[in-house]
Structure 1
Amino acid sequence: MGLKYNGFEIATKVTGVTVLRAGGVMEKAMRSVVHPAHYGKILIVGDPTTHEPRLHYANLPPAISEHQVLLMDSTIVSGANAMMAIRICLDHGVSEHNIVFVSLLATPQGTRAIQAAFPNVKIVVSILDPHIGKDDLLIQSGYGLFGDRYFGTEC
């Protein structure tokens, strides 16, 4: 049609950061479509009493500050774990503009919390579900703890 289109340029430096365990389900798909890419891992565990996130492990590539970063976790409930993962990337020199948080299922309140704290981080989610359990703080659509379901370790 002769119209000019100013699109997006494909990033040449990409790092996928898996938030363990459940974020690992997306890593295989990323490895099959993004070549070459670097990978990192972050393990954040919620305190069983306070539900506050605690960092247990982080291993990120040395040059991550120069890369587009895809942070991968299967769910966003309160947004606390996601915000800690984002903060870890920022502490390693990654620009907010270069972070995309990818999740399968999220709550609207979790995504709003992330957007309020980090307005330049992009969030990509397949489904928003507002139903959270009052006691266990899990999404109540039968989804449960995705890592347990995926890896066959649910009780």
Structure 2
Amino acid sequence: MSVIVVNHPLLQHKLTYVRSEDTTTDNFRRLVREIASMLAYEVTRDLPTELIDIKTPVASCKSPVISGKKLCLVSILRAGNGMLDGMIDLLPGARVGHIGLYRDPETLEPVEYYFKVPEDIRDRLVIVVDPMLATGNSAIAALSRLKEVGVSSLKLVNLLASPEGIRAVQAAHPDVPITLAAIDERLNEHGYIVPGLGDAGDRIFGTK
């Protein structure tokens, strides 16, 4: 399974301010949206295209468009919603699904409380979004759930990942590529990424 880290200077600049504890809620939200758009550009790099006939103001020509069914974005609630708008800015025709998972504070294992996806999701490329790939448990649960309903083409997009989370996802879903803005040092004893950016959901929604 491939792991792609997008090292574009503009993205890394924005990520620095996402990490900073001095960044306000509105700026944090805007920066996450902007980074998500940049990651959307990278994760869709290999979409298939086909040529169609068009007329420019000057001449007729054949020009490429994306072929096949439009893709589906699936947000892992609630923090994943902070990335959705940025992805949709670039992919306005995408369908959207949601998987509600919370992390049991004792076991750090994910518990599902919501699942709603398009009926024809099995026929689409599905891109799962969540800002943080920490223990990997939520991502693994979400990917497993999507495979249960017949999805065979999956990608995972995160802002930050821990080495532990990457290894866990690779072990459980070796067929799913991961696109990231950065791989951080490690997890701490509470399952948070170090240095990370704190709790992405709380910072996106201003709940702490």
Is the Cα contact below 8 Å between 1:13 and 1:66 reproduced in 2?
no
Letter in 2 for 1:146: A
Shift of 1:122: 1.0
Query: How do residues 3-152 of structure 1 correspond to structure 2 at under 5 angstroms?
Result: 8-9=47-48, 10=66, 12-95=69-152, 98-134=153-189, 136-141=190-195, 143-152=197-206
Task: Report the TM-score, using the length of structure 2 for normalisation.
Answer: 0.66
Shift in alpha-carbon separation, 1:130–1:142, aligned structure 2, 3 A: closer
| % identical equivalent positions | 36
Bigger fraction of residues in helix: 2
Task: Report the TM-score, using the length of structure 1 for normalisation.
Answer: 0.88
Shift of 1:142: 5.2
Count of aligned pairs between the two proteins: 145
Q: Over alpha carbons, which structure has the higher Rg?
A: 2
C-alpha distance in structure 2 between counterparts of 1:8 and 1:69, whole Å? 12
Deviations 1:122-145 (A, max 9, x none): 1111110123211x1111315111
Shift of 1:26: 1.1
Is the Cα contact below 8 Å between 1:17 and 1:40 reproduced in 2?
yes
C-alpha distance in structure 2 between counterparts of 1:82 and 1:147, whole Å? 15
C-alpha distance in structure 2 between counterparts of 1:26 and 1:124, whole Å? 13
Root-mean-square deviation (CA), in Å? Answer: 1.4
